[in-house]
Structure 1
């Protein structure tokens, strides 16, 4: 498919150039027009018409591909939602019929795994909507979102020492995307800390801080943290794309993003919300 697009675009360039040159030749030598301004204008009009037609032909297969991909993604999301809800419902029923401690532990593990699947589902749904530029902007108290994410994160990271200090702050943002920003920053803090990790989250007036006491970074590493696929420690599992996504979200929503770090002392990420209403 992409090969045909490349051929079509190359043809667009060649044909448009040929039409422009031919138009100048015909207007001057065949029609005998001596005014070069008129010659260029007529030639340009014909070249633009030919370019527009060829551009539509070139983009058509690409548009069809993305339309098909969008439909496939929506259908896949719908199919994923059904088994997740089925597992969740059955886990809740099993909790009522099983009373021994071993069964409860197993059901808790299943519940946590389903929770992670739900998060990935929501993330995929968010990424698809963002790609189609249909983010849902809403007004909410950031404290509510932080507390919601902390319920999930505490269940996921049971050995983390949490230090939380939050004060109310109303914002107008894409809620799901902001939740992903919080999750990513906390996960990075846990990932790059020795066990037990110590995570400090504070929200006061226009500033949200998410800090850890992990391995930290030097100045050279700090310069590369937003590069796609860059990882401070390649021995730690991950894809190295998280902070790049965080930065793009913050730039899009006019959130100031500042990262400070010291080797052996930890990293602190500050989000400035001054420009948000």
Structure 2
């Protein structure tokens, strides 16, 4: 498909160049027009018309490809939702008939895995909607979002000690995307911390602070943390795109992102929202 687009674009270039040369020749030699300003203007008009037609022909396959990809993604998400709900429903039923400690622990692990799948489902759904510029701007309390994410993260990371001090603060932005930002920053703190980590989360005035006591970063790493696919430790899980997405979200909604870190002392990430809790969309 992309090969066809390349051929179409090459044809567009050759054809428009040919039309330009032929137009100049026709107006100057055949019609006998000597004013080069008029010749240039008429040639430009002809080139724009032909170029627009050929550009539409060249872009059509690419547009059809993206429409197909978007439709396929939506259908796949719809199909994923059914097994996730089935797993959750059956686990709840099994809890009624299995009450011994060993079975309950197994069911709890299944529930956590299903919840992780559901989170990935929501994330994919959000990314598809974001690509189509259909973000939902909401007016909400930032404290509620942090508490919602902590309910999920506490079950996912039972060995973490959580030091949480959050006050209410109202913002106006994409709630789902902000939840993903909070998830990413907290998960980074856990991932790059030793066993039984301590994660400190505060929300005071217009600033959210997420601090860990992990391995920290040097100055060179701090210079590259927003680069897509960059990872300071290749042995760690992930694809190195998290902070890149966080940075893009913060830029989108005018949130100041501050990261400070020291080797073997930990990292502190701060999200500074605009005063009065208003973030322009």
TM-score (norm 1): 0.98
SS at match of 2:224: coil
Q: State the alpha-carbon separation in 1 of the partners of residues 86 and 46 from structure 2.
A: 61
The root-mean-square deviation of aligned C-alpha atoms, in Å, is 0.9
- Residue ranges of structure 1 left out of the alignment (5+ in a row): none
Return the offset for 1:101.
1.0
Tell me the CA shift for residue 239 of structure 1.
0.8
Supply the distance in 2 between the matched residues of 1:7 and 1:254 (Cα, whole angstroms). 42
CA distance in 1, matches of 2:71, 2:229: 28
How many pairs align?
277
Q: Deviations over 1:173-231 (max 9, x none)?
A: 11111111001001110111111111111111110111111111111110000111111
Alignment of 1:209-248 (within 5 A): 209-248=209-248
What SS does the aligned partner of 1:223 have? helix
Aligned to 1:172: 172
What is the aligned partner in structure 2 of residue 260 from structure 1?
260
Which stretches of structure 1, 4 residues or longer, exceed 2 Å deviation after superposition? none
CA shift, 1:90, in A, is: 1.0
Q: Which residue of 1 aligns with 2:22?
A: 22
| Structure 1 position 258, deviation (Å) | 1.1
What are the Cα deviations for residues 56-91 of structure 1, in whole angstroms up to 9, with x where unaligned?
100000011111111111111110001111111111
Alignment of 1:1-277 (within 5 A): 1-274=1-274, 276-277=277-278
- Unaligned stretches of 5+ in structure 2? none
* 1:257 shift after superposition: 0.7
The Cα shift of 1:9 comes to 1.1
CA distance in 2, matches of 1:252, 1:15: 40
Normalised TM-score (structure 2):
0.97
3-state SS, counterpart of residue 92 of structure 1 = helix
Distance 1:151 1:274 in 2: 27
Shift in Å at residue 38 of structure 1? Answer: 0.8
Q: What is the CA distance between 1:172 and its match in structure 2?
A: 1.1
